[in-house]
Amino acid sequence: MRDLVQVGQAAFFLLMAFIIPLAIWKGGMPERVGAATILAMTAWRFSSFPWMPSRYTIVDPASLITDLIGVAGFGFLALQALRWWPVWATSLQLLSLSAHFARWADIAITPMVYALMRYAPTYGVLIALFLGASAEETLHNVL
């Protein structure tokens, strides 16, 4: 399972390396704040790893905090920005957050399912940010 998680993380960072600069360069202020939110989530996860290693058999507090950062950041954007993509991003982060509550409630989910529930929605957040930044660029080119 560790190998699969590492491959997934490598794919996430490759996507991030493409989408975050695009959002900063081509997007408006909401896209830049969204990129900063993803960077804050990633920075927290990496800074917390040495003293809170990732676990899949119990609730992972570092990932829980990471998802709370995402819900707060994208939730703020969904309420303030006149964009569709922060609503998608917030919804996806809520899905990721629900994985922790499922694990806490001791619903019989395997560690692999918990890992997928934690990480997979964040790929969707990156895609939503990419689509939002692309739509913003297209809008500026048309006007």
Residue 37 in contact with residue 69, Cβ under 8 Å? Answer: yes
Number of Cβ within 10 Å of residue 62's Cβ equals 18
**What was the pLDDT predicted at 113?**
84
* Mean pLDDT of the chain, nearest integer: 88
Query: Per residue in 81-125, pLDDT tens?
Result: 989 999 999 999 999 999 888 888 877 788 888 888 888 899 999
Give the pLDDT band of residue 30 (cuts 50, 70, 90). very high
Diameter of the chain by CA atoms? 53
What pTM value is reported for the model? Answer: 0.86
